[in-house]
Structure 1
Amino acid sequence: MSRSEEPIRLLSMMASTSTSTCTSTQSSPATVRFTNVRDLFDVIDCATTDFLSVTDVSPISFAEIEVEREKQHRKFRFRRYDSSSRCLLVTIPTDVHEELHTSIYQLYMQKIVSMGLRDSWRTTASARCQSQAHFGQSNKEGDSTGGPEPGRDAPTYWPTLAIEAGASESLNELRNDMRWWFSASNHEVRVVILAQFDPTRSAVVIEKWEEEPVQGHAGVTRPQSCTVLGLPSITASPLLRQSIAITQNTATSPVSYNVTGGALVLPLRLLFLREPRPTEFDFVISVEDLESYAAKVWRRAGN
């Protein structure tokens, strides 16, 4: 067997291998069992999707993967790693995947600049975030993230905004990313945007999820699901504030895009952790913006 055929053989053999330790294998397009770094990189090289689930990754193996990734200047991201489940989810930055999240973030940044808040915002992109709420090692590299500048008075900087994209993932898997952001940050992340491209439906789906603090004892503001001084947690699910669907209409010339769900509205209060000043408003990504955004996504998909 030639060296060029080996990655395809590996993917074919390994993709059928699943393990109960990884909760995302049901919806992931490919699941492989980790054996060594070289074989994993071969599988990534021949992958045709933007998402890969890797099982049986010990903390030592994860460290080895990270070292080799940096040494070889690999561009894939660690979407999520959890040492207790030994599951590593990998983002492979395809053209469609990158367009899905970067264009939304760029539109948001245009609104920030036009409102004169550029120097008050910090882009953290795909910087590593370490869980504050889980036992063991749990960390993540998001797609597009950012937060206020200066940040909160805390030892670890967490963004207030996270955008996650998927072209081969189900919305359920993307929602697992959303839940991680809120839980792992101890609810310091306030807004999560999910952007999914579904070629079978010829649609882009955008969801906006939010979490807000609630008033605790003695006037102390605390997150809804946070345990304070040993008191039981107040359990509350993240809130789906918006669901937007964008479909392509090939019956028109030129091709047009239909947006249902209205403009995407991002609340300044949650993103900047303060009330808007008299000349400030929420950030609105208009229907026209979303139509242009969709056209870019479809171009990257070759449609």
Structure 2
Amino acid sequence: MSRGCPRDVTEEGTNDGDDASQFLQHLPANTCVYSFEEWPQKEEQDFSGNNFVVIKHVPSEALEKGDKPFFGRIDYSHASEILILKMPAEIHETAASNFHSLVAILASQMGVKRRIADRGSTRTNTSRRSKEADRSWAPAYRPGEKYREWPTVALEVGNSETKAKLINDITWWLNQSNGRVQQGIIIDIKKGSGNVYISSWIAANVVTQPAPQGESVPVTPIQPLPARQTLEAAFKRRPDGREPVIEGGDITIPFANLVGEHPRQGQVDFALTKDLLLTHVVEPIWEALDAAKLEANKKKG
């Protein structure tokens, strides 16, 4: 826990009612909890070793005014006035950045890179929740189109939280967007073993309906359900430099999910094969994990 942390989520975090309990569930047990009044100014902040920080009783206008600095990915519940900050870390940022780079490489090969908007961690606001993905994409803006508040593909990366939290976050993107987020990607990093699981998700009860003039019509799920996993590639690290065990299937992002229209001649879906994922995403994650362990051992003396 960071220096000066008032309490952790096991002491206080889930005793504020159903909304707060649901919002905070699946966070690591040692997640530091502050009240808004206790939140330190920038020069006093030291959150090394913390993957998340929780701030309670945060008025919604504080997110926009900038009276107090908030660093990291923002996830805010308007109903319970609780802010979760996902703190940046090398392992986490390595995974998100390299996955994006792989998507960009494939887009360049097909000549469509400029037709895809890299939304990064652009915040999406709803009446109940404001959230930033670890990475997100949408078709590039074209004149006459309505501004896209939602991405079409969202990425969530975890290197400390449980798989359940990652699934909850991806489910929110898919269910609350009224069909506009068409696909979620999860990168689940197990720090102990070094295993990496990359999976693709869609809304559990997506219903396709004919649309006038060839335009897509979002369909609201009748009853929101947890997201449904469609594909997973597992990369299991082995000791002594032996070849990793690779299981599962390739990850595919449909061309239309990123570009906004069906592929033309010479264009295909984005095939993130296991070989490409290993080289461009997983091996850099392993290098970051090794560097983090080396640094931790140095600090121990």
TM over 0.5: yes
Structural RMSD (CA): 2.9
Asked if residue 17 in structure 1 is aligned to residue 18 in structure 2, the reply is no
> Which piece of structure 1 moves more, 31-40 or 278-287?
31-40
Please, which of 227, 231, 244 is the counterpart of residue 242 of structure 1? 231
Instruction: Using the aligned pairs only, state the percent identity.
Output: 20
Cα contact 1:246–1:259 (8 A) shared by 2: yes
**Does 2:282 correspond to 1:282?**
no
Pick the aligned partner of 2:166 from 171, 174, 177.
174
Choose 18-27 or 233-242, whichever is displaced more.
Answer: 233-242
CA distance in 1, matches of 2:72, 2:223: 37
State the partner residue of 2:282: 294
| 1:245, distance to aligned residue in structure 2 (A) | 1.4
Displacement of 1:215 after TM fit? 0.8
In the alignment, which of 147, 150, 154 is matched to residue 162 of structure 1? Answer: 154
- Partners of 2:145 and 2:236 in 1: how far apart? 43
Unaligned runs of 5+ in 1: 1-5, 227-232
- Contact 2:2/2:48 (<8 A) preserved: no
1:146 equivalenced with 2:137 (yes/no): yes
Q: CA deviation at 1:36?
A: 2.0
- 1:272 and 2:259 equivalent? yes
Query: Which residue is equivalent to 1:3?
Result: none
Alpha-carbon distance change, 264 to 7 in structure 1, aligned in 2, over 3 angstroms: closer
SS of residue matched to 1:259: strand
Structure 1: distance between partners of 2:109 and 2:239? 34
- The whole-number CA distance in structure 1 between the counterparts of 2:196 and 2:120 is 22
**Displacement of 1:86:** 1.9
Q: Is the contact between residue 5 and residue 32 of structure 2 (CA under 8 Å) also seen in structure 1? A: no
Q: Distance in 1 between matches of 2:230 and 2:44?
A: 38
Report the Cα offset of residue 281 of structure 1. 0.7
Report the equivalent of 1:214. 208
- What pairs with 1:194-213 in structure 2 (closer than 5 Å)? 194-211=186-203
Whole-angstrom CA distance in 2 between matches of 1:218 and 1:160:
20
C-alpha distance in structure 2 between counterparts of 1:276 and 1:265, whole Å: 14
CA distance in 2, matches of 1:282, 1:48: 39
Q: Which residue of 1 aligns with 2:72?
A: 76
TM-score normalised by structure 2 residue count: 0.81
CA distance 1:158–1:217, shift in 2 (3 Å): closer
CA distance in 1, matches of 2:51, 2:24: 15
State how far apart, in whole Å, the 2-side matches of 1:148 and 1:284 are: 18
Tell me if the contact between 2:156 and 2:187 (Cα under 8 Å) persists in the aligned partners: yes
Number of residue pairs the alignment of both structures matches: 279
Q: Deviation per CA, 1:149-181: give whole Å up to 9, x if none.
A: 135832443221111111111111111211221
Tell me how far 1:142 sits from its aligned partner: 1.4
Letter in 2 for 1:166: G
Give the CA deviation at 1:40: 8.0
Please tell me whether the aligned partners of residues 153 and 184 of structure 2 are also in contact (alpha carbons under 8 angstroms): yes
CA deviations on 1:189-214 (whole Å, 9 max, x unpaired) are 11111111112343111121124562
Decide whether aligned partners of structure 1 residues 122 and 218 sit closer, same or farther in structure 2, where only a CA change above 3 A counts.
closer
**Are the counterparts in 2 of residues 76 and 92 from structure 1 also a CA contact under 8 Å?**
yes
Structure 1 residue 42, shift from structure 2 partner: 8.3
Q: 1:41 Cα deviation (Å)?
A: 6.1
Does 2:258 align with 1:258? no
